[in-house]
A and B are shown apart, each in its own frame.
Chain A
Amino acid sequence: MLSDRDRLLAALFALQLLAIFVFGIVLVNGTDLGPATSTTRQTLLAAPTLSAAPTAQATGRAATAGSQGQASTTTVSSGGGAVSPGGGSGPAGVAKGRPIKIGAIVSQTGAINFAASAQGTKAYLDLVNAQGGVNGHRLELDLRDDQLDPSRGRQQAQQLLAEGVFTFAAWNAPQTEAAIVPFLEQNKIPLIGSYGVGDEYHSRWAYAFQSHHYGFEMGRFLAQEGAVKHPGVVFISGASAKANDAQVRAFTAGVKAGGKNLAPGDVVQVDVTKVSYDDVVTQFRLGGVDGIATLIDQTAYNRLQQSMDRQAYHPVHVADPLFTDPTVTQSSSTEGTLVASDLMPVDTGGPEVQQYVSSVRKAFGARAQISYLGEAGWLDAKLLVEALRRMGNDISRDNLLRTMDSLPADVGRGFTRQLHFGPGTDHDPNRCLNLTKVVHGTSTTYKDFACDEENFDR
Chain B
Amino acid sequence: MKLTFSLALGGIPIGAMYALQALGIVIVYKTSKVFNFASGAIGLACAYFGSTLHAHGIPSLPAVLLTIVLGVAIGVLMELTVRPVKGALTGTIVTLGWLLVLTGGVGWVYGTQVATNEPVRLLSDKQAFDVGGVLVYSYQQLGLLVIAGALAAGLALFFRLSGLGTATRAVSEAPDAARLLGIQVDRVNLVAWGLGGAVSGLAGVLVAPLLGGLNTTALIILTVQALAAALVGRLSSLPMTFAGGVVLGMLQPVVHRALASFSGLKGTDELTAFIVVLVALLFMRRSGRKDVVSGGLVPVPIRALPTGRLAALSFAGVALGALLLPILLGDRGNLSRYNLTQVAVWGTATLSLVLLVGVVGQVSVCQAVFMGCGAYGTGIALAHGLPFLLAGIAGALLAAAVAALVGLPAIRLEPLELAIATLSLSFTADRFLYSWPPLASDDGKREVVRPGFAGVDPGHVAAGNRAYAWLALGVFIVACFAVASLRRGRTGAALTALRSSEPATAAMGFSVVSVKLRGFAASGFLAGLAGALYAGLVQGASGAPFDFTRSITLLAYAVIIGVGSVPGAFFGGLVLTLTTVDFGATSDVANGQVVSLTTLFTGALLIGVLTLSPDGVAGAVGRLRLRRGPATSPAEVFA
Contacts and interface: CB of A to CB of B under 8 A. Distances in A.
Interface in A320-338: 327-329
Contacts of B585: 76-79, 142, 163
Given A31-B330, A45-B537, A328-B115, 16 more contacts: A10-B310, A32-B330, A44-B465, A48-B448, A77-B586, A109-B590, A143-B589, A149-B544, A155-B580, A158-B336, A158-B338, A159-B332, A162-B331, A240-B444, A273-B221, A299-B211
A393 interface: no
A301 B580 CA distance: 32
Contacts of B210: 276, 306
Interface of A: 1, 4, 7-8, 10-12, 14-15, 18, 22-23, 25-26, 28-33, 36-37, 40-42, 44-53, 64-71, 74, 76-79, 108-111, 113, 115, 118-119, 122, 142-145, 147-152, 154-156, 158-159, 162-163, 175, 178-179, 182, 198, 237-244, 265, 268-269, 271, 273-276, 278-279, 282-283, 285-287, 298-303, 305-306, 309-312, 327-329, 364, 367
Contacts of B264: 237, 241, 244, 269
Contact of A74 (B2, B113, B449, B588): B588
B338 A45 contact: yes
A78 B261 CA distance: 53
A108 B589 contact: yes
B309 interface: yes
B371 to A, nearest CB: 12
A87 to B, nearest CB: 8
B464 interface: yes
25 contacts: A15-B313, A15-B320, A18-B321, A31-B328, A32-B331, A41-B464, A48-B448, A49-B539, A49-B540, A50-B540, A52-B440, A52-B542, A68-B591, A108-B592, A113-B113, A143-B589, A144-B587, A163-B332, A179-B542, A241-B264, A241-B442, A271-B267, A278-B13, A299-B114, A309-B138
A143 B211 contact: no
Contact of B331 (A40, A283, A287): A40
A36 B464 contact: yes
Contacts of B3: 282-283, 286-287
Interface in B135-168: 136-138, 141
Interface in B190-204: none
B331 A49 contact: no
Given A68-B113, A282-B7, A47 B539 contact: yes
B217 A18 contact: no
A37 B465 CA distance: 9
B222 interface: yes
A302 to B, nearest CB: 3
A1 B211 contact: no
B246 to A, nearest CB: 14
Contact of A240 (B320, B445, B581, B595): B445
Interface string B201-229: 00000000011110111100110010000
Interface string B441-468: 0111111111000000000100111111
- Which are the 7 A-B pairs with shortest beta-carbon distances? A239-B444, A36-B464, A302-B212, A49-B540, A50-B542, A11-B313, A52-B543
Contact of A154 (B116, B260, B538): B538
B589 A70 contact: yes
Contact of A159 (B130, B313, B333, B630): B333
Nearest to B110: A68
B6 A71 contact: no
A275 B221 contact: yes
A61 B1 CA distance: 36
Given A269-B260, A279-B10, A299-B115, A76 B442 contact: no
B213 A302 contact: yes
A267 to B, nearest CB: 9
Contact of A64 (B14, B115, B463): B115
B401 interface: no
Contacts of A40: 331
A32 B326 CA distance: 10
Contacts of B503: none
How large, as a class, is the contact surface on chain B? 35 or more
Contact of A22 (B6, B325, B538, B545): B325
Nearest to B432: A271
B179 interface: no
Contacts of B317: 11, 14-15, 18
A143 B586 contact: yes
Contact of B327 (A33, A285, A327, A367): A33
Contacts of A152: 580-582
Contacts of B440: 52, 239
A42 B463 CA distance: 7
Given A8-B313, A11-B310, A299-B213, A309 B127 contact: yes
B253 interface: yes
A239 B434 contact: yes
Contacts of B463: 37, 42, 46
Given A143-B589, A285-B133, A240 B212 contact: no
A26 to B, nearest CB: 5
A327 B310 contact: no
Scoring A74, A240, A242, A278 by chain B CB atoms within 10 A of each residue's CB, the highest score goes to A278
B541 A49 contact: yes
A328 B114 CA distance: 10
Scoring B212, B435, B463 by chain A CB atoms within 10 A of each residue's CB, the highest score goes to B212
Given A49-B542, A115-B590, A279-B11, A302 B338 contact: no
Interface in B506-543: 534, 537-543
A46 B320 contact: no
B460 A37 contact: yes
Given A109-B590, A239-B435, A283-B7, A29 B125 contact: no
Contacts of A145: 587, 590
Contact of B111 (A68, A76, A178, A241): A68
A183 to B, nearest CB: 9
Contacts of B308: 7
B602 interface: no
A115 B587 CA distance: 12
Nearest to A1: B630
B104 to A, nearest CB: 12
B384 interface: no
B141 A310 contact: yes
A325 B493 CA distance: 62
A152 B430 CA distance: 19
Contact of B6 (A46, A66, A282, A298): A282
A122 B534 CA distance: 33
A265 B261 CA distance: 7
B328 A147 contact: no
B184 interface: no
Contact of B114 (A15, A278, A286, A327): A327
A28 B534 CA distance: 26
Contact of B444 (A70, A238, A274): A238
B17 interface: yes
Given A15-B320, A158-B338, A279 B253 contact: yes
Contacts of A108: 587, 589-592
B590 A179 contact: no
Contact of B582 (A4, A144, A298, A367): A144
Contacts of B314: 11, 14
Given A18-B320, A142-B585, A162-B332, A239 B542 contact: yes
B623 interface: no
Nearest to B214: A299
B368 to A, nearest CB: 12
A408 B442 CA distance: 36
Contacts of A42: 463-465
Given A11-B313, A327-B116, A49 B330 contact: no
B339 interface: yes
Contacts of A154: 338, 538
A41 B332 contact: no
A99 B130 CA distance: 65
